[in-house]
Amino acid sequence: MSGEGEFGYIRRRLAPLASGYTGAFNLTDDAAVLAVPVGCELVVTSDTLIEGVHFLPGDPPETVAVKALRVSLSDLAAMGAEPHAAMLSISWPRDGSTDLRDRFTDGLAEELSVRAVPLIGGDTTVTPGPWTITGTLFGSLPAGSAVRRAGARAGDHVYVTGTIGDAGLGLLSLQGEAGLGAAVERYRIPPVRTALASHLRGRANAMIDISDGLAADAGHLSTVSQVALDVTLADLPLSGTARDWVARQDDPDIARARLAGYGDDYELLFCAPADCHHAIQRAARETGIPITRIGQVKKGEGVRLLDGSGAPVQIDSAGFTHF
Amino acid sequence: MSGEGEFGYIRRRLAPLASGYTGAFNLTDDAAVLAVPVGCELVVTSDTLIEGVHFLPGDPPETVAVKALRVSLSDLAAMGAEPHAAMLSISWPRDGSTDLRDRFTDGLAEELSVRAVPLIGGDTTVTPGPWTITGTLFGSLPAGSAVRRAGARAGDHVYVTGTIGDAGLGLLSLQGEAGLGAAVERYRIPPVRTALASHLRGRANAMIDISDGLAADAGHLSTVSQVALDVTLADLPLSGTARDWVARQDDPDIARARLAGYGDDYELLFCAPADCHHAIQRAARETGIPITRIGQVKKGEGVRLLDGSGAPVQIDSAGFTHF
């Protein structure tokens, strides 16, 4: 990394992002002191993004910064937590330009400002490998109110926020598939569902954010909750781009199952008792974040993606198929 | 990374390291809930190690794990904090063997066990670049008692723990220099000065851990504290290996100044009022960790490394020199 050194960069560009958080000591110290809001507890999550793995070399540095924060904000929202503070460990590529660093930092500053999240620490290094960023995000919530992956009960409704499969279609577009350009933004910039956290605490019995894909993450929730999840493919919320894409495929339910297999949605999937349905609809209206009921929790184990006849669509070696 | 997948590895090898920490949820959730001990506050620090930059390709994977934890334990000790919990984001090299992973995890498990530190989260990924590990360590200390880099006052004594320059000599040895084999261990495995934390809280006015080298880190402390530090080179505590190395150099003070320029000591450098001297000597005896007085805090700015005549040795373009 050319230009000013590590310390100059931290002092000039990062330290201002710590202002207002007493325990961050303007990023001049060995560690930060965490302030826990009265009556609250802190939650913490960490995610690593690697160029060429979790984002593409052509992605704008500004959106890489936003993604680095949002993948963890999504984890916090899935616990029912509001963001509290961020740490960032950045390994700059050895041949990276100051333009890369400046544009990344611009995106970082903008997103931290919009979310009112102070930067309280981290590390900067230079790597001979690809650009690598580990974000560690702290969230706060009323003590004892964390929503877990465990806790779903037979009879609960299964809900999902936003739309499913767009990030995967965006990646396909960047890899050359036609007609999917509108989805690129969703691959680069995950949505933020933080506004729902306070509405879902005390209502959702279990929640997870969708990073590995709806089917896989529903599977994680079902395993930890020790229940089965039935998801009706026709009920998956789809963007216009995704609906058009489904219409171009041979079999709409197999196509929807593929969308449920794509990663990087960063939507919330949660299970809540049926008597919370009106409160959940109200939360969607108040936050402007769409919430769609897509299935039902049952006794048993595993996830079933159901086609129009109520039969499960499954994955075999050739991909998804009707069983 | 061949063998079992990410989830299997986390369940089999990492989840047991989380046991006993309720809010870690056996590493099955999106985030961990931090438990703050009564009357305490938490501090947090993050450090990234990259193969070929912060450790060598030939280093045993077990010691890489120990180093990944200890570089951050050192930051915690420098705040006067005892370790509370760890998070680890590991990017495995794409061509890494399961032997690498298993040996790293063995070292990790051993060190976490010895330090009684639970693993409460993190991330595992695979990178096309070099093996990269970001450790995020939480420490706890009585509320309001954090020792900072700021706070040193004119008249304070300057102290340092252990010995200086051995890690640098160990690196020289690994790069082929003869007669320094005994120092290799100190390059690979930083010391742990945690036992001093409780003794130095309330006594040290300012403290920093030495990662960039004694001279550079004394400089960081002097900048933040807005004082000058005078260090007498003849007083630097040296190991037998380092003493022998100094004896082989042309000029002993220039040689000691070079040792003060080497990084990776992970010793503590701190400033304390003169009337704490006996308490500090007692702390050294009780913990078995050597503490040596090496200088004095003065009004002014910057660090002066003083030779036998009391004149400063300085760095010019050809290296250290007498002025």
Tens of pLDDT along A258-295? 999 999 999 999 999 999 999 999 999 999 999 999 99
Q: Which tokens sit at A99?
A: 């333009």
Residues B273 and B205: beta-carbon distance below 8 Å: yes
**Percent helix, percent strand, percent coil in chain A, to nearest 5:** 40, 25, 35
Query: Using CB atoms, which residue from A35, A41, A122 is nearest to B46?
Result: A122
Q: Are strands A206-209 and A268-272 parallel, antiparallel or unpaired?
A: antiparallel
Q: What is the pLDDT of residue A3?
A: 57
Please tell me the total count of domains within chain B: 2
With an 8 Å Cβ cutoff, are A139 and B31 in contact? yes
> Band of the pLDDT at A317, cuts 50, 70, 90?
low
Distance spanning both ends of chain B, measured CA to CA: 54
Structural domain harbouring A299: 157-322
Q: What is the pLDDT of residue B7?
A: 85
Residues of A in contact with B44 (CB under 8 A): 31-32, 34, 87, 120-121, 136
Task: Look at residue A148 and tell me if it is in a domain.
Answer: no
Do B163 and B132 lie in a common domain? no
Do B170 and B129 lie in a common domain? no
Do B240 and B134 lie in a common domain? no
Do A175 and A47 lie in a common domain? no
Do A134 and A170 lie in a common domain? no
Per-residue pLDDT tens digits for A76-133: 999 999 999 999 999 999 998 999 999 999 999 999 999 999 999 999 999 999 999 9
Q: How many CB atoms lie within 10 A of CB B144?
A: 7
**Distance between CA atoms of residues A43 and A141, nearest Å:** 8
Task: Look at residue A83 and tell me if it is in a domain.
Answer: yes
C-alpha angle A17-A99-A173 in degrees, rounded to nearest 5: 100
Q: Which tokens sit at A214?
A: 């709806």
Task: Look at residue A135 and tell me if it is in a domain.
Answer: yes
In 3D, which of A257, A253, A255 has the Cα closest to residue A245?
A255
In 3D, which of B111, B263, B244 has the Cα closest to residue B181?
B244
Among residues A114, A142, A170, the one where a domain terminates is A142
Number of A/B CB contacts below 8 angstroms equals 183
Question: Helices (DSSP H) in B160-276: which residue ranges?
Answer: 166-174, 184-188, 197-200, 214-225, 240-248, 252-261
Distances in Å between the Cα of A59 and the Cα atoms of A52, A100, A184, B91 are 10, 11, 10, 21
Q: What is the pLDDT of residue A318?
A: 64
Q: What is the pLDDT of residue B317?
A: 63
Task: Look at residue A273 and tell me if it is in a domain.
Answer: yes
Distances in Å between the Cα of A134 and the Cα atoms of A51, A269, B111, B121, B124 are 12, 24, 23, 13, 11
CATH of the domain at A118: 3.30.1330.10
Per-residue pLDDT tens digits for A33-87: 999 999 999 999 999 999 999 999 989 999 999 999 999 999 999 999 999 999 9
- Give Cβ neighbours of residue A235 (< 8 Å, ≥ 6 apart): A292, A293, A294, A295
Task: Look at residue A267 and tell me if it is in a domain.
Answer: yes
Q: Which tokens sit at A29?
A: 């110290």
Task: Look at residue B220 and tell me if it is in a domain.
Answer: yes
Query: Using CB atoms, which residue from A43, A54, A78 is nearest to B33?
Result: A43
**Distance between CA atoms of residues B67 and B131, nearest Å:** 14
Residues of B in contact with A36 (CB under 8 A): 36, 41-42
The helix/strand count (H/E) of chain A reads as 10, 13
- Taking only the tens of pLDDT, chain B with its 323 residues reads 445 778 889 999 999 999 999 999 999 999 999 999 999 999 999 999 999 999 999 899 999 999 999 999 999 999 999 999 999 999 999 998 999 999 999 999 999 999 999 999 999 999 999 999 999 999 999 999 999 999 999 999 999 999 999 999 999 999 999 899 999 999 999 999 999 999 999 999 999 999 999 999 999 999 999 999 999 999 999 999 999 999 999 999 999 999 999 999 999 999 999 999 999 999 999 999 999 999 999 999 999 999 999 999 987 766 677 76
Task: Look at residue A151 and tell me if it is in a domain.
Answer: no
ipTM: 0.94
Do A318 and A293 lie in a common domain? yes
Residues B24 and B138: beta-carbon distance below 8 Å: no
**Distance between CA atoms of residues A193 and B236, nearest Å:** 55
In 3D, which of B88, B123, B119, B110 has the Cα closest to residue B26?
B119
Do A129 and A240 lie in a common domain? no
Q: What is the pLDDT of residue B2?
A: 47
With an 8 Å Cβ cutoff, are B34 and A42 in contact? yes
- Identify the closest residue of chain A to B138 by CA–CA distance: A31
Q: What is the pLDDT of residue A320?
A: 73
**Distance between CA atoms of residues B65 and A322, nearest Å:** 46
Task: Look at residue B147 and tell me if it is in a domain.
Answer: no
**DSSP assignments along A146-176, one per residue:** ---STT--TT-EEEEES-SSHHHHHHHHHTT
> Band of the pLDDT at A32, cuts 50, 70, 90?
very high
CATH of the domain at B275: 3.90.650.10
**Distance between CA atoms of residues A88 and A68, nearest Å:** 9
**DSSP assignments along B284-320, one per residue:** HHHHT--EEEEEEEESSSEEEEE-TTSPEEEEETTEE
Do A182 and A318 lie in a common domain? yes
With an 8 Å Cβ cutoff, are B149 and A29 in contact? yes
Do A231 and A286 lie in a common domain? yes
Do A169 and A269 lie in a common domain? yes
Do A92 and A163 lie in a common domain? no
Do A55 and A181 lie in a common domain? no
Contacts 24+ apart (CB under 8 A), A113-117: A115/A69, A115/A73, A115/A83, A115/A192, A115/A194, A116/A83, A117/A69, A117/A83, A117/A84, A117/A85, A117/A86
Distances in Å between the Cα of B68 and the Cα atoms of B48, B58, B117, B209 are 8, 16, 14, 15
Residues of A in contact with B190 (CB under 8 A): none
Q: Which tokens sit at A61?
A: 């540095």
Answer yes or no: is pLDDT of A172 > 60: yes
Distances in Å between the Cα of B85 and the Cα atoms of B97, B115, B119, B198 are 28, 10, 6, 18
